[in-house]
A and B are shown apart, each in its own frame.
Chain A
Amino acid sequence: MATQQVSTRIDALPRTILHRPFFWIIALAIAAFVVAPTIGNDVQLRESLLLAAVYIILASNLNVMIGYAGYVNFGSIVFFGLGGYLCVWLVGRPGFPLAVAALAGGVVVSALALVFGFGVLRLRGAYFALATIGVNEGVQAFVMNFSPWGGAAGMYLSTELFAPLGGPRQALWTIYYLLVAVMGLSLYLSYGIKVSKFGLGLLAIGQNEDAAAVLGVPTRLYKALAYSATAFLPAIAGGLYYFKSAFIQPSDAFDLTFSTEAIAIVMLGGQGTIAGPAIGAFFYEELRGWLLTSDTFSHFQLVVAGALLLIIVLFLPRGLIGTAHARWPDLRRIIE
């Protein structure tokens, strides 16, 4: 009897998701990413959307920690960088196929995050944020001195390794589609967590961790699981991304700027929402890309980007989607 109840509850979950309009909005967004650059074989658009997809992956996963559980992870880039290193190394040395190497990177990084998570997540607030920076710096120091991975000089991949994917030109399309797939999975993971009991537990932790613990939420386990789950897809994305670059070095792979940008994106878009970080990431990347190459703004693109960020933080403190939700409460049912 009890088992039956549990199983119907699990069955009910995906069905309710499928009935929500937002599930299909995500699907439409992914389809747009897939189709848009193929119209007119627009390589330029593809490169720009590729970076947007990377930002969406980083921001969506980070959002689970920041927006749901209320833990600001400053060093989230360590997942991306470490995943990149594992994948580049596995493809370059033992000659693994890209998909296997990227997936292996994801699994290893996720497992490491689970171990780290149990330790680091005993800390709260600013101490946790500092510890995540420490994890990133520690891993960077390790990689810098780890000669099989090229130490400070990094690792280079021969463009000949693109041959199994149909040569460099075709390979970049394949990598793009794979990254869009990872982006889609990130969005659905973020969505799936939010509507699950696990997500509810995380939100409770975000509201008041002690109260959540008293009410029976296994806070340490949940936090570590969230930390680990949100390491998986960024690590795979890192693998694909650095395979595409054909070069990885510690100062790029563990660059805290990337982490900080991801946090800014989550804040801009609206933390805790699913659409927020994704829309934030998309506009952030498109804006930066446009400013960089614009004839008028390219010389002071950082000034313009900074001013815009400031305006948004000052006037839309809940982020784009958060503000929209407050203004039009009905919107919550469509854009989650």
Chain B
Amino acid sequence: MRLPILAAIMLAAMATGAFAADSDTITIGMTTSQTGPLNVDSLGLQQGANMWRDDVNAAGGIAVGDKHYQVRFVTYDDQSQGSRVQQLYTRLVVQDKAQFLFGPYSSGLTATAAVISEQYGALMLTAGGAEPKTYELGNKYLYQVITPAGGYLKGAVEALQAHNPHAKVALVYSDDPFSKAVLAATSEQAKKAGLEIVMNESYAPSTTDFGPVINKIISSGADSFMGGGHYSDGATLARQLYEQKANLKWISILVAPGDDKFATLGPAALGVTTGSQWEPSESYKPEFGPTGPEFVKRYRAKFKSDPDYHAASGYAGGLILQHAIEQAGSIDQAKVAAALDAMDVMTFFGRVKFATDPQHHGLQVAHEMVLAQWLMNDGKLTRQVVWPKDAASAALLYPIPAH
């Protein structure tokens, strides 16, 4: 009578013992902006990272030698506010014992979180901060997965120069850290390319009426436009440029055209270009992880929406960390850091390599952005990669047809 019970207990003990041996986990900590103004942009990043975690765990975990580590996330809401970020990242390291960190969304929050990563020597992969300054301050534990701000409109300048070497460009952009950093670099790139800058002006991020700005663009004699900021101002700008018949031959806008909602602008969207960290139509041959089409297909099935580049970079961040751990054959911070330093790989997200000199340590140096353009395809607006030519999925439209 007692025997079966005893046997059951022993079995249970064995089972839990066996389970304990198998249940090694890697804890990764991060904050996301579940509330506050950065909410929309942060969501894609988080969904991408979540999808990577689920993929890894479904495949049995990260292989380190003969061990397999399951991945566990600890996530807190930073409310899009810098004041919470340091408190929460400290908690992630100290209390939740996170072995690795993912960065928050936005350049500002990343800079604030970087201090904690430095303080505890915790590796942090950042897929949401493009501003390069943070990586030029002597931080030793940060690794930037995405192209720094200077790359956002580089393709636009190159493509424009190829089609019109004497273009007159108006640079008009939102007065925020990211947009200013991008446009400062764009201005240099345009000058170097021999383009003429006829206007260089910023507007308040909350601007909703661009009438006066557009009049100024028209009277400056510009035939090309580069600028914008985030979604709402960028979309409004595109619509009003169309309505006021600015008749520009070239329009490049940051961020907003990267969102599928941009198609709702109808004819105003036609021909508008944007610099993108990643586009679903990209077809790199990854050395590991999913291919672009696989990623898109599974993301759609999981979240019932198309992945944007934030989602792709969130997934890529996980993939890079996983690869580094596997290469290192250890979860020891120093060994994983060495693997990250040595890394030069191709993923579905593109090539990834980090600067290793002390002045720029962790800065992304290999990943290339592409230029995407809204084109009419069978009576439907679609976003296609048009530059660089070897990554293009459609021919570039220049000039934008007059209306």
Contact = CB atoms under 8 A, between A and B. Distances in A.
A157 B81 contact: no
Interface stretch (B60-68, B107-115, B231-239, B299-307): B107-115
Contacts of A44: 90-91, 94-95
B91 A47 contact: yes
Nearest to A302: B35
Contact of A168 (B88, B119, B133, B176): B119
5 contacts: A44-B94, A47-B86, A144-B175, A153-B181, A246-B137
Contacts of A50: 87
- Closest 9 CB pairs between A and B? A153-B177, A158-B137, A247-B111, A168-B119, A47-B87, A159-B118, A246-B115, A47-B90, A252-B82
A43 B90 contact: yes
Nearest to B37: A251
Task: Tell me whether chain B's interface is mostly helix, strand or loop, or mixed.
Answer: helix
Contact of A156 (B95, B137, B175, B176): B137
Interface of B: 34-35, 76-77, 79, 81-84, 86-88, 90-91, 94-95, 108, 111-112, 114-115, 118-120, 131, 133-134, 137-139, 175-177, 180-181, 202
B134 to A, nearest CB: 6
Given A47-B86, A51-B83, A247 B108 contact: yes
A289 interface: yes
A292 B137 CA distance: 30
Contacts of B95: 44
A228 interface: no
Interface in A269-325: 289, 292-293, 298-299, 301-302
A252 B114 CA distance: 17
Interface in A232-257: 244-247, 249, 251-252, 255, 257
Contacts of B90: 43-44, 47
A172 interface: yes
A153 B76 contact: no
A158 B139 CA distance: 8
A153 B182 CA distance: 11
B111 A152 contact: no
Interface string A152-165: 11101111100000
A54 B94 CA distance: 22
Contacts of B181: 153
B180 A159 contact: no
A245 B137 contact: no
B119 A169 contact: yes
Contacts of A158: 137-138
Contacts of A192: none
A174 interface: no
A206 interface: no
A48 interface: yes
A156 B112 CA distance: 9
B32 to A, nearest CB: 11
A246 B111 contact: yes
B115 A252 contact: no
B91 A245 contact: no
